[in-house]
Amino acid sequence: MGNVVSGRRGILIFDCGSQFTQLIARRVREAHVYCEIHPASRGMDLAFIKRFDPKGVILSGGPNSVFEPGAPTVDAKVLDLGVPVLGICYGMQLVARLAGGEVTPSTEREYGRADITIRENAGVFAGFTVGEQTTVWASHGDRLDQPPPGYRVTATSQNAPVAGMRHDAKPVYGVLFHPEVVHTPRGGEILENFLFAICKCAADWTAGQFITEQIAGIQKTVGTKRAICGLSGGVDSAVAAALVHRAIGDRLTCIFVDHGLLRMHEREQVERTFRAHMGIDLRVVDASGQFLARLAGIEDPEEKRRRIGHTFIDVFEAASKDVPGEVGFLVQGTLYPDVIESASPKGGPSVTIKTHHNVGGLRPDMPFALIEPLRELFKDEVRQVGRELGLPEEMVGRHPFPGPGLAIRVLGAVDPGRLETLRRADSIYLEEIRQAGLYQDIWQAFAVLLPVKSVGVMGDGRTYENAVALRAVTSSDGMTADWFAFPPEVLGRIANRIINEVKGVNRVVYDVSSKPPATIEWE
């Protein structure tokens, strides 16, 4: 799921299937410590672990029972490498089983908030008071009645005789709850105890250090060749372009494709902003007719993404012929959540949620090698890199915008008329959000044109017209999200303007679904 960064030691996270695995990585990164997520099956490869040379290993939670056939596991020798290990929830039970302990189904399960009692103020519980109770987020149906040989109990709960444990001599620890979630108030202290006091990590995972490492890597990869970058106007491609430009200078050419699926005035804004602030060779290609022709009559969102991704490569290939020199690379702003959501790693527990046009949606015979300098970053890390590179806030602070553009926000078939309806509604929506001073409080906001019509009344007449759905969410990384609670008067003003100003719309609805179970985009 990640790539070993040459010369950088960090935390190796083995994913045992928990919905919170990415949150573990987020918390580690927030402490300025480098980490990578890999499927638990990689933990059976001791040679891989030794090549990674981790400062510490974390075993994530997971939905399985450790005694189930086929349940995620790692090589028991991981516990004898002398590398600190922290097992979280399922991960602790896995440590216990590997160490000879007995994990059994419990008649009393713990899900949600629970109270644990601290039994020692050392290890991951350094700074806690013996006997104190603290609230944690539990999610387990199995139990460990006593620790395995050589281990001692460090925390208990009402239904878990062993809610925390550690080895007497080895740096191996386990907690039967999730310190990575906000519902465990002191979870950050527990993780930082592991990272700094136990693993002796240095807090050197910073935007500046990342930029330095990436520039060196890009220069080595590209050599004397040239690269092209597909600019979308969004944060990710902008930061990726700025980073590669810092590395290879005028051997980077950016190509902005007007695919006819853009927001209102997007093309003009991109041309103005990128030429003014970045000084990059920018070519603008109007390929709207080509994209819309390939999308004609297509309703399935996965097929839309596939066709858009393949068409992008066609356009890039044609545009690159006008770029002097040998073009060998295509720069993309792929992020870590894109990778996680798009593909299940070999042997890993993740499932494909959607195909991103830049992860798995590209034509297999494309003529360029990919450069994805942001592939290991979360969105907030990308914004920090952008600021470090000197990009303006109007660029790095923008809401995420999908590569396939409005094609996946027009549900059903895409045509110029439906696109224009959505474009106008979306423009009004964002304008009102900015005027209300709420733009920076929202992770992502957009309008969706639904493939249904409903009855309405305008003036003295009956109407049968389109419905528009509004979506606004709060999030830290896009992996999970909650709906944004608008002041009623703002939401009412937005709906009123859309219905009055956008011809063909007579109904506006607001989406109050969280992720999960819903996704952020409707598609």
Residues labelled as active-site residues: 89, 178, 180
Map residue 473 onto helix, strand or coil: strand
The partner residues of 34 in beta bridges, in order of sequence, read none
Q: Please give the Cα distance from 466 to 471 (Å, whole number).
A: 16
N- to C-terminal Cα distance for the chain?
Answer: 25
Q: Please give the Cα distance from 361 to 352 (Å, whole number).
A: 13
Map residue 313 onto helix, strand or coil: helix
∠ CA 144-147-153, rounded to 5°:
105
State the pairing for strand pair 133-144/103-118.
antiparallel
Tell me the angle at which helices 235-248 and 266-278 cross, rounded to the nearest 10 degrees: 30
Q: Please give the Cα distance from 91 to 441 (Å, whole number).
A: 35
To the nearest 10°, the Cα dihedral for 258, 261, 266, 272? -10
Q: Please give the Cα distance from 417 to 429 (Å, whole number).
A: 19
In the block, which residue shows the tokens 């090549």? 51
Give a three-class secondary structure readout of 177-226.
CCCCCCCCCCHHHHHHHHHHHHCCCCCCCCHHHHHHHHHHHHHHHHCCCE
Give a three-class secondary structure readout of 89-156.
CHHHHHHHHHCCCCEEEEEEEEEEEEEEEECCCCHHHCCCCCCCEEEEEEEEEEEECCCCCCEEEEEE
Exposed/middle/buried for residue 391 (C-beta within 10 Å: 0-12, 13-18, 19+): buried
> What residues contact 338, with CB distance under 8 A and at least 6 apart?
356, 358, 359
